[in-house]
């Protein structure tokens, strides 16, 4: 009995080994092809990833630049907004100050209007009282009118004085007495006595010129009112205008007669108005 295998067995063993080797070779070839394909796919994927990364990186750089610009714009806008806010606050403060000033001025205007209306009402009432007191005199002897809140009583020289004289006659004293009744009932008025002459020169032992005559006649009227009829001297102020404030032409007899007059100007005191105006004046002591 032989211990060596037969040739059929050897062939079978060799075939088995060949089949195993061939299977390994085929598996290796398949694996190589698969790996080659996988490597190709990986390379394509890598290329895609690199391109994507580059695109993303470029986008990132662009976004970084845009963000920096946007940040600077935001800071600029914030700076402008802060500046506008400060300017708006300043403008609002100025607006509020102007509104307060406007309200104060409107209040002052209303107060002034009320005072003026009150003054006009007082002047009209005073005018009626004076006219009522001086009824009975002719228009060529005296006239009464109201102008700019004042009452003007113009008495002719023939009513008050003899020609060339500064002494008030009896008829003049009568007229002044009736006027004094009105003045003594008014405690808040100012009275100005103005003497007027025509332009015909005068020079006597008593009067140097027309101006001198007009002043002394005004003073004579003041004395009658204050001493005879007890009008408050603090309310009266005499003055002389001479021929320098005519109401008519000095070229005619009638005109010169009208110019020779004594005007008694009665004005309600404007204390409230002066106080209001003074209150509106700026205080200059603080800056001096």
What pLDDT was estimated at residue 35? 73
Regions in the chain scoring below 50 on pLDDT: 288
What pLDDT was estimated at residue 3? 53
What pLDDT was estimated at residue 113? 77
Tell me how crowded residue 258 is: count the other CB atoms within 10 A of its CB. Answer: 19
What pLDDT was estimated at residue 258? 94
Residues paired with residue 242 on neighbouring β-strands, in sequence order:
196
pTM over 0.85: no
- Domains and their CATH numbers in the chain: 117-275 (3.30.1330.60)
What pLDDT was estimated at residue 288? 45
């Amino acid at each position: 009995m032989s211990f060596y295998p037969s040739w059929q067995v050897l062939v079978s063993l060799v075939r088995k080994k060949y089949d195993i080797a061939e299977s390994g070779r085929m598996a290796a070839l398949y694996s190589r092809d698969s790996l080659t394909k996988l490597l190709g796919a990986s390379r394509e994927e890598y290329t895609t990833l690199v391109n994507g990364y580059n695109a993303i990186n470029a986008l990132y750089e662009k976004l970084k630049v845009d963000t920096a610009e946007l940040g600077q714009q935001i800071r600029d806008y914030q700076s402008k907004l802060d500046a506008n806010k400060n300017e708006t606050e300043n403008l609002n403060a100025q607006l509020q100050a102007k509104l307060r000033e406007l309200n104060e001025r409107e209040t002052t205007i209303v107060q002034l209007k009320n005072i003026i209306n009150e003054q006009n009402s007082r002047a009209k009432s005073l005018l009626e009282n004076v006219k009522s007191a001086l009824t009975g005199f002719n228009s060529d002897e005296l006239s009464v009118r109201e102008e700019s809140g004042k009452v003007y009583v113009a008495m002719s020289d023939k009513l008050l004085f003899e020609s060339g004289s500064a002494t008030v006659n009896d008829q003049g004293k009568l007229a002044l007495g009736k006027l004094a009744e009105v003045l003594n009932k008014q405690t808040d008025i100012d009275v100005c006595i103005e003497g007027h002459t025509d332009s015909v020169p005068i020079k006597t032992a008593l009067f140097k010129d027309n101006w001198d005559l007009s002043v002394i006649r005004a003073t004579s009227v003041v004395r009658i009112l204050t001493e005879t009829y007890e009008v408050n001297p603090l309310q009266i102020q005499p003055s002389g205008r001479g021929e320098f404030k005519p109401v008519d032409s000095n070229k005619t007899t009638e005109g010169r007669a009208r110019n020779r007059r004594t005007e008694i100007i009665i004005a309600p005191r404007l204390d409230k108005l002066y106080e209001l105006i003074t209150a509106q004046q700026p205080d200059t002591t603080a800056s001096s």
